[in-house]
Amino acid sequence: MSSFTKSTSFNRRALSSLSVESPRSTSSTAFNSPVGSAFASPRTFGGSPRPYTNRLKEISYLFQVLIVAGTLVSFLVIIAGGYLYVVPSLGYNGALQFNETSVVTGDKECDIFDGSWVVDDSYPLYNASECPFVERGFNCLGNGRGHDEYLKWRWKPKHCDVPRFQVGDVLERLRGKRIVFVGDSMSRTQWESLICILMTGLDDKRSVYEVNGNNITKRIRFLGVRFGSYNFTVEFYRSVFLVQPGKLLRWHAPKRVKSTLKLDVMDVINHEWSSADYLVFNTGQWWVPGKLFETGCYFQVGNSLRLGMSIPTAYRVALETWASWIENKIDPNKTRVMFRTFEPSHWSEHRSCNVTKYPTPDTQGRDRSIFSEMIKEVVKNMTVPVSVLDVTSMSAFRSDGHVGLWSDNPLVPDCSHWCLPGVPDIWNEILLFFLFRQQVQ
């Protein structure tokens, strides 16, 4: 509309200036300019006078040209404005910018870990009974869980969506790569989940196999699954502390000390990880008195036994050891590094396990973890880029997602591990977002 108004004003000024033109004005400008020639006094230039009707036709023609031009400009302005308005709202397929934990869509910044769980009937992403790499103990539905509402939840950030990748596209992006998970049984659960998600994109399931022919079990320290058609592996290394457990040597220690955890030494199998293309770490579930002091395991730094060191202090020392290893052993041009934060359990005060039917609206403080805060603090001061998968808060609502009594040993309730399919699938959707966000951008 603004373009059309400007054209009308121009025409009025032209008419006004030409209406007071002196009859004696015979400058060549009036004849060289189309506007001047159209509105000049009826005079000749090397010929006979033009009829009055011809001048009216020229005036009418010019008005039509100006109106069409103004309309065209207005249309282009509207199209451009619409493009700028619509494209940012397209989410993953639009123009995205990425920070460490957030997505910028248009003028809105979205923290992907700040959101809520919403019902989505397109879940689950796979059938655990059809995936040979799910441990029997995690297949809750197959173990007799009577309702499947826990399978129908999707994580929804407040101002955006977690991108849903096409599995075929992910398989192509992983061609020739190594994804390595390092950590405890929660890491193994996430490893199993990712394999099952990726297998849904294959017609020939037989092309996926464990490289040593092993069955999936918590007793094996290394498990590697190869996707033969795409020549990539998804591997798991069991390293529950990331640093090195050791035997008690040369000390006249109290009888309660049976072994030590060398906080300043990385796990001896660390050389197996350094050449990976994608590294995903976690540790947390074993940093409790029941797994340490009550078994006679205490902390060691150098040649010094630290009997009075608290678990949080020891955890921080171990993280600093891990960070130093990353900075000295990892080539950031080859390897992407991620650290998943502590995943909360839902045991009651008296160590009883009550798996709910739906997510809980009250996290009862489980959305915060001193371990998770330490991870973020250590990573923030590192020179090598590390992405933090901050799943603590989002997982704290999922009291419905645990194994409970639906495991391979129903006599032992479990409010620590997660059913598959389930919450770890959402961790992996976010993991894929972090792995491929540069390509998406």
CB 135 within 8 A of CB 199: no
Model confidence at 98, pLDDT cuts 50, 70, 90, reads very low
Helix (H) / strand (E) containing 77: helix 52-86
Mean pLDDT of 213-232: 93
184 is catalytic: no
Say whether pLDDT at 223 is over 90: yes
Say whether pLDDT at 306 is over 60: yes
Mean pLDDT of 340-348: 95
Please tell me the distance from the alpha carbon of residue 120 to that of residue 151, in angstroms, as a whole number.
Answer: 9
**Complete DSSP assignment for 386-397:** EEEE--HHHHHT
Task: For tokens 């371990």, name the residue.
Answer: 371
185 is catalytic: yes
Mean pLDDT of 150-170: 93
Q: Which residue has the higher pLDDT, 27 or 59?
A: 59
Sheet containing 232-238: give its strands across: 208-210, 222-227, 232-238, 178-183, 278-281, 336-340, 386-389
Please tell me the distance from the alpha carbon of residue 225 to that of residue 233, in angstroms, as a whole number.
Answer: 5
Task: Give the pLDDT of residue 59.
Answer: 61
Per-residue pLDDT tens digits for 396-408: 999 999 999 999 8
Mean pLDDT of 133-147: 95
Task: Give the pLDDT of residue 7.
Answer: 38
State whether the Cα torsion 211-407-285-112 is positive or negative: positive
Task: State percent of the chain over pLDDT 70.
Answer: 74
Please tell me the distance from the alpha carbon of residue 364 to that of residue 417, in angstroms, as a whole number.
Answer: 19
Per-residue pLDDT tens digits for 235-257: 999 999 999 998 876 667 888 99
Q: Which residue has the higher pLDDT, 169 or 2?
A: 169
Mean pLDDT of 95-101: 39
Please tell me the distance from the alpha carbon of residue 266 to that of residue 281, in angstroms, as a whole number.
Answer: 13
Task: Give the pLDDT of residue 17.
Answer: 39
Per-residue pLDDT tens digits for 280-305: 999 999 999 999 999 999 999 998 99
Contacts of 388 (CB under 8 A, 6+ apart): 100, 101, 338, 339, 340, 341, 375, 376, 379
Task: State percent of the chain over pLDDT 90.
Answer: 67
Task: Give the pLDDT of residue 102.
Answer: 55
Model confidence at 136, pLDDT cuts 50, 70, 90, reads very high
Mean pLDDT of 404-431: 95
Mean pLDDT of 29-55: 40
Helix axes 423-440, 185-199, angle to 10 degrees: 70
Task: Give the pLDDT of residue 422.
Answer: 98
Model confidence at 163, pLDDT cuts 50, 70, 90, reads confident
Model confidence at 319, pLDDT cuts 50, 70, 90, reads very high
Helix (H) / strand (E) containing 429: helix 423-440
Task: For tokens 């004696």, name the residue.
Answer: 24
Helix ranges, 87-211 (H): 167-173, 185-199
Task: Give the pLDDT of residue 66.
Answer: 66
Please tell me the distance from the alpha carbon of residue 359 to that of residue 351, in angstroms, as a whole number.
Answer: 19
Task: Give the pLDDT of residue 174.
Answer: 97
Catalytic choice (184, 267, 390, 414): 414
346 is catalytic: no
Task: Give the pLDDT of residue 204.
Answer: 93
- pTM, two decimal places: 0.76
Task: Give the pLDDT of residue 202.
Answer: 96
Q: How far is CA 14 from CA 7, 20, 30, 163, 256, in A?
A: 11, 11, 12, 57, 102
Catalytic choice (346, 400, 417, 425): 417
Task: Give the pLDDT of residue 62.
Answer: 66
Q: Which of 206-210, 244-248, 267-271 has the lowest mean pLDDT?
A: 244-248
CB 382 within 8 A of CB 326: yes
Say whether pLDDT at 16 is over 60: no
Per-residue pLDDT tens digits for 173-183: 999 999 999 99
Closest CA to 222 of 261, 267, 176: 267
Model confidence at 73, pLDDT cuts 50, 70, 90, reads low
Catalytic choice (7, 102, 184, 185): 185
Average pLDDT taken over every residue of the chain:
82
